[in-house]
Structure 1
C-alpha cells in the first residue's frame, strides 16, 4: 500500500468474536446493559467478554481497569463426554483437543448425528428399509442434521423419521444447553455476587442464525438460567455484518 502512495495507514486486526461483541454497541447504548458478551456459534464455537484486569492471572502487570478478552472457549476440554462424543473425538483431526467445541458446534453436529443415528439403527430403533434409506444419505453434515430434526430432509416421512427427528433434535438441544452454560459461566466468573444485572449477547454464526431449534433453545435456556442463578435478564442481538461493523467500532475507538 505504501508503494501505491498510501501513507500513515492505520490497520485494525480483530478476532471475529471480539468484533461481533463490539458490533452490539453500534445498535445499543453502552449503558443499556451491565455486560455485553460476544458469541460465535457456527462452524466453531467461541465467546468474548470484558473482564476486570484483576481476574487476568496471566498478566499480573496490568493496571486496574477492564480488558476485552477472546476466551477461545471452544478449546475447553475438562468436560464429561458421552460414548458417541468419545468416538467422534477419536476420529477427529485433533483427538483430545477442543472437546467442548466438538460437542456443540456446527462443524461436528452432522458427524455426531451420523454416529448416533447409525447406532440407533444397529440397536433396531428403525425398520430395515428406513435404516438403508438413512445410510444412503450419509455422510451427514449440519445442514442435513437440521433438516432431519425438522423432518424436512429427503427421508420418507414415517414413524422412523419422527424417531430420527427426536434423536437429532436432542443433540441440537444439548448443544444449546452447553452454550448457555458457557454464557452463564462467564457471568459467574465476572462477579457472581452481583445480581439483577442486564446482559446483552451479541451473537453470530451459521448455527445461531440458521438453526432455529438451536437458537430458540439457547435463548430459552439462557433466560431461565440467568434468572434462576443471578436474578438477571439476558437479551440476544444479532447485527447483520457484525464482524465488519465491530471492526469499524474498534477502529473508531482507537481515535477517541
Structure 2
C-alpha cells in the first residue's frame, strides 16, 4: 500500500500557517467581537452576557458549587478566605449513568434528574439542613440567560434527552429539588457556563486575569467587557468563540465540516478542538494511505504518537496494520500529528490576541494572566510552547507580559466564586 508523497507535501504546506495568516485571524476575530457587541448580523460570535463581573479576591465565606456539564455531576463546598486564597472542604462526584439507572436519556424525568443533583449537594454538606448556603451552578449547556441566576435551557446536547427541562429555568428546577429533599437552607444564586467559571477561578487568585478559555474536547473563550454597550457597566462576555467563521479553511477542513453533525457551524472549533483534530488526523491518514475505510485516532492517540516513537509505532500498527511498520511512514505520520496540533495552538493564540487587542482599545496590551482549562492545553505536546510563540509573532514585545495559566477544577471553584460575587454585589 503506497504512501502518497505528493499529497503529504500538499497537506503539510496547508497546515503550516505563518505569521501573516494568524495575524489576519486575530484582526478578523477582533472585528467580529466588536460587531457582535453591536448585535451586527455580520458577526459570527454570539457574544452572550453572563451578568457577572470579576471577583476582587477578598470575598470570604463558605459557598456551594455544582458542576453539571457531562455524565458526571460534582458538588463541592469551597471556603473563600480572602487574600486570593481558597480551599475545597469537601467534594462529591457521582455518575448520571450507572448500573440500574440512566438519568440522561428520555426515560428519566426532570424531577428524577434534579432530585439526584440535590442529593449530591446534600452529600457535600453532609446532610446539613440548618446552615444557610449560597450555591453557584456551572451548567455547560446552551441557555438563554436573563440575569446572573436566571437561565433557561435552549436545547440539550451531549446525548442528553431528559424531557421537561428544555425551556425551563435551570436554577428554579434545582431549587425546587433541594426543597423536596429537605435542603431549603441551600439557595442557588448564580448560573454560569464552564468558560466563565474558569475566568472567575483564575481572577480570584490572579486579579489581572481578563480572559478565560476552555481548550479541550471543545473550544470557547470569554473575557471581561467594561464597555457600557453590553447593557451593563461591566460584565463577563461568553463569546462562544468556537463559532468564529472568518478564517480560510483547507479543503480537508471543509470535508470534515460537511461530514459533521452541524455542517457550516463552529468553524474555529472544528479546526482546533480535541473533538475534531483527531478526526482530521484520521481522515488525512485515510487519504495518504488510500485506505478503504477511515481509521479512528483520538487526541490521546495523537499525543502518544508525538511523544514517543516506539509507542507511535505500536499504535499505528495496531490501528493501520503492517503498512505502518515502515519507519519512514511512521515518522511522516508523527510529523502530521505535530503539524495539526501546532496549527490548532496558533489559531487559538490568534483568537486570544484579537480579544486582547479589543480589551486594550487604542492602548498597549497590558501584562496579565490568561486562564485556561482543558486537556489539550494541559497535556498535548507542542501546544503551550506554540501558543506562546504565536502570541509573540502577533503582538511582539507586548506578549512578554502575558502568562497563560492552567486552571484546574475551574468549573467548581468558579461556581463558588460566582455565588460569592452574586451575593456581594
Which protein is bigger by CA-based radius of gyration?
Answer: 2
Residues 48-100 of structure 1 deviation map (CA, whole Å, 9 limit, x = unaligned) = 101123453xxxxx25x221011100011222110110110011111111111
Q: 1:52 aligns with which of 226, 241, 250?
A: 226
Partner in structure 2 of residue 125 of structure 1: none
CA apart distance, 1:224: 4.2
Report how far residue 110 of structure 1 moved: 0.7
Corresponding residue of 1:42 = 216
Aligned equivalents of 2:376 and 2:423: distance in 1? 34
Kindly state the Cα deviation for residue 223 of structure 1 after the two structures are TM-superposed.
4.2
Q: CA deviation at 1:4?
A: 3.2
Corresponding residue of 1:15: 193
Aligned to 1:128: none
Tell me if the contact between 2:278 and 2:298 (Cα under 8 Å) persists in the aligned partners: yes
The yes-or-no answer on 1:255 pairing with 2:423 is yes
* Residue of 362, 368, 384 corresponding to 1:215: 384
Residue in structure 2 matched with residue 98 of structure 1 by the alignment:
266
Q: How many residues align?
A: 234
In the alignment, structure 1 residue 82 sits paired with structure 2 residue 261: no
Contact in 1 for aligned 2:373/2:410 (Cα 8 Å): yes
2-side partners of 1:42 and 1:48: how far apart?
15
SS at match of 2:407: coil
Question: Residue deviations 1:88-127, cap 9 Å, x none?
Answer: 00111111111111011000011101122222234xxxxx
Matches of 1:231 and 1:166, distance apart in 2: 28
Instruction: Check whether the contact 1:41–1:203 (CA below 8 A) recurs between aligned residues.
Output: yes
Provide the aligned C-alpha RMSD in A.
2.2
Over 3 Å counting, the alpha-carbon distance change for 1:5 and 1:118 in structure 2 is closer
Which residue of 282, 288, 295 maps to 1:120?
288
Give the equivalent residue in structure 1 for 2:363: 194
The answer as to 2:402 corresponding to 1:239 is no
So what's the TM-score if we normalise by structure 1?
Answer: 0.83
Higher helix share: 1
Distance (Å, rounded) in 1 between the aligned partners of 2:392 and 2:212: 16
Pick the aligned partner of 2:340 from 160, 167, 171: 171
Match of 1:255, SS? helix
Q: Distance between the aligned counterparts of 1:55 and 1:222, measured in 2?
A: 28
- 1:4 and 2:181 aligned: yes
Asked if 1 retains the 8 angstrom alpha-carbon contact of 2:353 and 2:395, the reply is yes
Q: What is the CA–CA distance in structure 2 between the aligned matches of 1:146 and 1:241, rounded to whole Å?
A: 22
Secondary structure of residue in 1 paired with 2:210: strand
Secondary structure of the residue aligned to 1:212 is coil
Q: Is the 8 A contact 1:20 1:242 kept in 2?
A: yes
With 160-169 and 84-93 compared, the bigger mean Cα shift is at: 160-169
Q: Which moved more, 1:185-194 or 1:37-46?
A: 185-194
Structure 2 distance, partners of 1:220, 1:245, is 30
- TM-score, normalising length: structure 2: 0.51
Q: Tell me how far apart the structure 2 counterparts of residues 213 and 78 of structure 1 sit (CA, whole Å).
A: 25
C-alpha distance 157-255 of structure 1, shift in aligned 2 (>3 A): farther
SS in structure 1 of the partner of residue 254 of structure 2: helix
Contact map agreement 2:197 2:415 (CA 8 A) in 1: yes
Judging changes above 3 Å, is the alpha-carbon distance between structure 1 residues 82 and 51 closer, same or farther for their aligned structure 2 residues? same
CA contact (8 A) 2:391 2:399 kept: no
TM-aligned CA deviation for residue 227 of structure 1: 3.1
Gaps of 5+ in 1: 57-61, 123-130
